[in-house]
Amino acid sequence: MRHDTMNQHESGSAGAADTATGQKKIGEVILDVHNISLRFGGVKALTDISFNVREHEVRAIIGPNGAGKSSMLNCINGVYQPQEGSITFRGQTFKHMNSRQVAEMGIARTFQNLALFKGMSVIDNIMTGRNLRIKSNLFSQAFRNPFGIGGAQKEEEQHREFVEHIIDFLEIQAYRKTPVGTLPYGLQKRVDLGRALAMEPQMLLLDEPMAGMNLEEKQDMSRFILDVNDEFGTTIVLIEPDMGVVMDISDRVVVLDYGKKIGDGTPDEVRNNEEVIKAYLGTSH
Ligand SMILES: Nc1ncnc2c1ncn2[C@@H]1O[C@H](COP(=O)(O)OP(=O)(O)OP(=O)(O)O)[C@@H](O)[C@H]1O
Ligand SMILES: [Mg+2]
């Protein structure tokens, strides 16, 4: 939708752009987090954090409990307003984004603590991800065809079809009509991913999509994340406290500890970083 608005000036080391890593094509910088600091009273949740995300990348944020990972996503997402710094998405710099603006720009989000409607079916939960699009479509439709109830129904059908496509993609057809609250936790996480995908985002922010899962569920979820990245070309920013999982699926990793950035690079670079090793020793990870 906004591909044409891409602005080159934020692209940093443009020389490294457009290089293919394996078969995968990593593009220009599309998200640039610049010197972000966030405080809650005396608590410094984030101190002077800068990093960037390239188009089509799987970018992980890792770090021990309380490191500031969720706070970082909340800043990108417009839920928290940092006291200092700025965030640039596709060349547009925002000091204070609100969540709706961010969603309209094509950034969707899943939450560490699921934000689903437990009593509603899988299909209806995923449908809530279409709301942003349904509203804008109905609005423009009213101008085009004020008497066109039939048109609105057709619109609704198209949205349902799109949702069915997501349900097939995530292999949850068997649970389409099941109330989400009755599903095992691993499947609820998958529905939450479906809700975010229904927004057709250019960038997906995933806060611990594998939390509370067993190994097999983690492998499934990793595969879905990689498939979304591959098939839809969606850029992924992923929080995961477990180093092992994240190293397998990420192109680059940011490491936070006590609100500070202590590492940034490829999985191999980060794994061999002394400060990162120190931060992870003595924690349960
Ligand atoms: N809304 C808030 N009000 C006050 N303090 C907060 C708030 N949100 C986060 N914090 C504090 O900011 C720090 C970073 O928290 P954050 O939730 O971002 O860490 P995290 O890395 O996501 O941790 P976890 O691995 O436990 O999810 C913590 O000290 C936390 O208590
Ligand atoms: Mg968190």
* pLDDT tens column, 143-164: 555 555 566 777 888 889 999 9
Measured torsion, CA atoms of residues 34, 38, 43, 47, in degrees rounded to the nearest 10: 10
Tell me which of 133 and 77 has the higher pLDDT.
77
Tell me which of 52 and 8 has the higher pLDDT.
52
Report how far ligand 1's centroid is from the alpha carbon of 257 (Å).
12
Report how far ligand 2's centroid is from the alpha carbon of 212 (Å).
13
**pLDDT more than 70, % of the chain:** 83
Q: Domain range spanning residue 253?
A: 15-106+202-285
* pLDDT tens column, 188-245: 999 999 999 999 999 999 999 998 888 899 999 999 999 999 999 999 999 987 777 8
- Ligand 1 atom nearest residue 71's Cα: 18
Q: What is the pLDDT of residue 281?
A: 66
Within a domain: 1: no
Q: Which of 146, 167, 200 is where one domain is finished?
A: 200
Please report how many Cα atoms fall inside a 13 Å half-sphere around the Cα of residue 167, on the Cβ side: 20
Residue 159: in which H helix or E strand, if any? helix 149-169
* pLDDT tens column, 62-113: 999 999 999 999 999 999 999 999 999 999 887 777 888 888 899 999 887 7
* pLDDT tens column, 32-58: 999 999 999 999 999 999 999 999 999
Which protein residues are within 6 Å of ligand 1, measured from CB? 40, 43, 45, 63, 65-71, 112, 241
Query: What is the CA angle 113-131-203, rounded to 5?
Result: 60
189 and 249 co-located in one domain: no
172 and 126 co-located in one domain: yes
209 and 139 co-located in one domain: no
**Does pLDDT of 165 surpass 90?**
yes
First to last CA, the chain: 40
Report how far ligand 1's centroid is from the alpha carbon of 258 (Å).
10
CA distances from 37 to 68, 95, 136, 206 (A): 11, 12, 34, 21
Within a domain: 8: no
Give the domain CATH number at 285. 3.40.50.300
Within a domain: 101: yes
Q: What is the pTM of this model?
A: 0.84
Q: How far apart are CA 101 and CA 108, in angstroms?
A: 11
* pLDDT tens column, 169-192: 999 999 999 999 999 989 999 999
52 and 83 co-located in one domain: yes
User: Which of 36, 38, 40, 114 to mutate for ligand 1's pocket (most ligand atoms within 8 Å of CB)?
Assistant: 40
* Contacts of 155 by beta carbon, 8 Å cutoff, 6+ apart: 134, 137, 138, 141
Query: What is the CA angle 171-58-4, rounded to 5?
Result: 100
Closest ligand to the CA of 64: 1
Q: How far apart are CA 269 and CA 15, in angstroms?
A: 21
**Protein residue whose Cα sits closest to atom 12 of ligand 1:** 45
27 and 86 co-located in one domain: yes
- Ligand 1 atom nearest residue 241's Cα: 25
210 and 187 co-located in one domain: no
93 and 154 co-located in one domain: no
Within a domain: 226: yes
Q: What is the pLDDT of residue 7?
A: 35
Instruction: Report the domain count for the chain.
Output: 2
Q: Which of 167, 200, 233 is where one domain is finished?
A: 200
138 and 76 co-located in one domain: no
189 and 234 co-located in one domain: no
Q: How far apart are CA 191 and CA 79, in angstroms?
A: 22
Within a domain: 89: yes
Report how far ligand 2's centroid is from the alpha carbon of 144 (Å).
45
Strand bridging mode 235-239 / 107-110 = unpaired
Q: Which of 149, 172, 200 is where one domain is finished?
A: 200
